[in-house]
Structure 1
Amino acid sequence: MSRVVEIKTADGGDVGFSDVSEDEIKLYLQLLSPYYSLTAQACAVEYFRRLLVRDHLPPSPIADALIKRLIRCLRVNFGNVQRDAAWALTNCACSPHEICYKIIQFGGLEALVECAEVTDGETRDQVFWTLGNIALDCSICQKKVQDSSALPVMIGVLVSPMFAHSRWKRNLVWAMSQIFRGGIQTLHLIFVQTALAGLRSMLYVDDVKLKVDATWAVAYIADDSVGGRQIDAVLTTPHLLKRLIELLDENETMRAALRALGNLVAGGDNQTQAVLNAGLLPRLMKLFRLNVPVNHKREMSWILSNIAAGSHRQIDLLFETNDIIETLTAAFHCNDHRTRKEIGWTVTNALTGASLSRSRWLCASNVLRLVPQLLNLRGERDLIDRTLYAIELLIAKRSSHIFVLENYEIMHTIRRIVQNENNQFDAFVRARAKRILNKESDYRARRIPRKTYVLVR
């Protein structure tokens, strides 16, 4: 949710557009033009900054003119004009999308970046707040901010020698987390690496909110869609991976750290292995068995499913964990559908990608008790199809697995999928289920051939 900057009037009450006359508003709007004195402009900017605290949706007849003139004031180096203009635009960016987008449409991003480059302290901090609110408005606005020169400027401030000692840190890191949210594809790798170095130092501060926002920013950078380069950047930033794992022990940072580590584990096998080598799995399983919030449990289950989607070695590491089958079974029987789904993917991914020896181990464990329930998870077509594929692979590895599958009522569940007449399963899923039943029939025919017996008296 975008954040509105609040300020009180001298008498302690908030004043909005509805509390003043139209003539007064028009007068102050005129004073915002460059034809009046700098003192008059400063008074007018402060006037609108105060009005926009309570009514951050400016009246429609003046919205365009007001936003254009506030943007112009970002370049007026006099008194508090730049600060108050940025402050007012921060609150405009909390308005409906149409108002927020006008800031971009009228050249606000360029003016904000220029203002950040030539100011410091509270004014620059207010500019960063505005940029964060714009990025938070919608994906279109976020992309516009990402494509601007805002991030290089912000990263330069983040890694400047005096930033760690500045009182103006929160808004910059928060804004970066909003701009990075959902992943970043357009930022040059050198800026990504520099940002990570700056964010790493923020993970050691005592300010909990600042530390949480910095962790989320790292997590969003690790949400890599550029071939794994950003994941590599996180992994190669000295001490960063170790610190992310340490942050699992702090309640406030746990979820953001889980997301960051989950995005790293979701990379390639080598990247996943690097995270496992750093000691994630023992720490994760310890937390997984605790009574943690459901959102945290979902993140952990997602990480487990990605580990299970990895190499033979990674699947082995997961299932060599003490009481892993009991832990997965208990988690699957919770009331949260998303957690159950991720546990299902953990089981299915393991059955699909395990080595022959680990497949035998899995078939000998009670993990197969979950499979009939996976095949009945409503609305999870991809998981059901993948589970059937895993069963096909098990039979292909060793046809005698059919009897094990029968003992766990898996074959019975597959027959019900084929026989279902309520269109609960699509044609592709049913076709895969039929192939499994055909393999079962072929195996039984070879194993127990038909014979004609003659009764001998």
Structure 2
Amino acid sequence: MVFQIKSLIRYLRVNFAYIQRNAAWALTNCACSPHEICYKIIQYDDLEALVECAAETDGETRDQVFWALGNIALDCPTCQEMVQSSAALPLMIDVLISPMFIRSKWIRNLIWALSQIIRGGIRTLDIMFVRAALTGLRPVLYLEDSKIKMDAIWAILLLIMLVIDAVLQTPALLERLIELLAEKRTMRAALRALGNLVAGNDAQTQAVLNAGLLPRMMELFGPMMPINQKHEIMWILSNIAAGSQRQIDLLFETNDIVEILIGTFYNDDHRIRKEIGWTVINALTGASENRSRWLCASNVLSIVPHVLNMHAEHDLIERTLDAIELLIEKQINYFFILENYQIMEALRQIAQNQNNCYDMHIKMWYGRSQEGVPQLQQRLVLDVVWVVPGDIRKYYLQPKAFYMFSEDLQQDEAFQN
């Protein structure tokens, strides 16, 4: 096999398209072989030969080379890093932005290979190439081929992890991603890309909201939507709720949002319930005083006692405790609303549980008077007192989080060869 691979490398440098194409085809198949064989391609400097061949050829030969590079990058993390460190990506991007390439029948393999090479993120790509890649990928999103569009969206998603602003500054790219929510095959990829944009800073999140994400996304939401897509949407909502007060207002100004959150919470799986819990608790923690009153007057508080019963979600429960404390600090009368929604009862059950791991936060006490809290209220409800270590306590929302490429995406159609 060593001799064959070395021979194929020599054939790549023969200035005859038929020989080069067949050598690239053979190496593409070698890259699908066990790791030991694929790794020998790198050992014998085949990456350099492949890139040189792609730079000097076009059409089917160059297309076959790009396919080989994508397969090599898929083999293992080390192989992917070696491809990323080569001149392959700048060359691919240069081809992608060629004015006539968008009409080429060879575009599919280039987009696919590009998404494989940068899969999982890449920190070594110069911002100049990132911007060029986004410019080249944008027109691909207008093609009729759903598979190519899906691969292009995943590539954009990976570039988002490098620099969100470059995506937002690419003309019409954000708006097109929102439009692609309406297409069945591209919806999940578009949701993931838009979700990672929303996970940026407040200004970046606001830019996505200004483009009309919320009404469009929630217009498409429905009970028959696949679980994975529902989960993506609720993850996006939880990140919006972790934003500024204006963003929380925009979220709850969306038509029927409270009814959607409540109805989905009671009818879907644990992952979705958890994201809805984060949405509500983030909003209760970060909302303005007026929005806090609005939230307490809505039925959204009915979710909170159920969140407190998600015993495995310790971070979410701790944030819920913080949110309840903040509400009571804002307005003591919220205490009675919380009691009406059985939230205080849920807190008592946590405090009285022998396995309670939240002792740093709460303790039960009887009969002692606390300034500003009526004695009768304490006696009737076994008032919850917050134990705060130190004099200062900061309140943090659930951190906005990017979705990385882990096992849940390895089965996605977009990443299959």
- In which range does the TM-score fall when normalised by the shorter chain? 0.7 to 0.9
* TM-score normalised over the length of structure 1: 0.77
* 2:380 maps to 1:447: no
1:79 CA displacement: 4.8
Contact in 2 for aligned 1:73/1:85 (Cα 8 Å): yes
Contact in 2 for aligned 1:417/1:430 (Cα 8 Å): no
Match of 1:336 among 253, 269, 276: 269
* 2:31 maps to 1:93: yes
1:399 CA displacement: 3.0
Match of 2:361 among 432, 436, 449: 432
CA displacement, residues 106-158 of structure 1 (integer Å, 9 cap, x when unaligned): 32322221221111111111111122222223333333322222110000000
Structure 2 residue identity aligned to 1:207: D
CA displacement, residues 428-447 of structure 1 (integer Å, 9 cap, x when unaligned): x342243xx57997648842
Partner of 2:413: none
Contact in 1 for aligned 2:111/2:148 (Cα 8 Å): yes
Contact in 1 for aligned 2:278/2:316 (Cα 8 Å): yes
Match of 1:176 among 114, 117, 120: 114
Q: Give unpaired runs (5+ residues) of structure 2.
A: 378-417
Contact in 1 for aligned 2:53/2:62 (Cα 8 Å): yes
1:394 CA displacement: 1.6
CA distance in 1, matches of 2:92, 2:51: 9
Contact in 1 for aligned 2:17/2:57 (Cα 8 Å): no
1:332 CA displacement: 1.3
CA displacement, residues 322-343 of structure 1 (integer Å, 9 cap, x when unaligned): 2211100111123322222211
Contact in 2 for aligned 1:265/1:307 (Cα 8 Å): yes
Partner of 1:135: 73
Query: Matches of residues 16-415 of structure 1 in structure 2 within 5 Å?
Result: 62=1, 64-224=2-162, 230-289=163-222, 291-415=224-348
Task: Describe the shift of the 1:448–1:432 C-alpha distance in structure 2 as closer, same or farther (beyond 3 A).
Answer: same
SS at 1:80 equivalent: helix
Contact in 2 for aligned 1:399/1:443 (Cα 8 Å): no
1:410 CA displacement: 1.7
Structure 2 residue identity aligned to 1:213: D
Greater relative contact order, per chain length (Cα 8 Å cut-off, separation 6+)? 2
1:232 CA displacement: 0.8
**Larger Rg computed on CA atoms:** 1
Aligned residues: 377
- Output the aligned Cα RMSD: 2.3
1:379 CA displacement: 3.0
Q: Give unpaired runs (5+ residues) of structure 1.
A: 1-61, 225-229, 451-457
CA distance in 1, matches of 2:96, 2:3: 34
Structure 2 residue identity aligned to 1:115: C
CA distance in 1, matches of 2:71, 2:365: 58
CA distance in 2, matches of 1:246, 1:449: 56
1:282 CA displacement: 0.5
Contact in 1 for aligned 2:138/2:173 (Cα 8 Å): yes
CA distance in 1, matches of 2:40, 2:349: 57
Contact in 1 for aligned 2:332/2:373 (Cα 8 Å): no
CA displacement, residues 216-235 of structure 1 (integer Å, 9 cap, x when unaligned): 211221134xxxxx211111
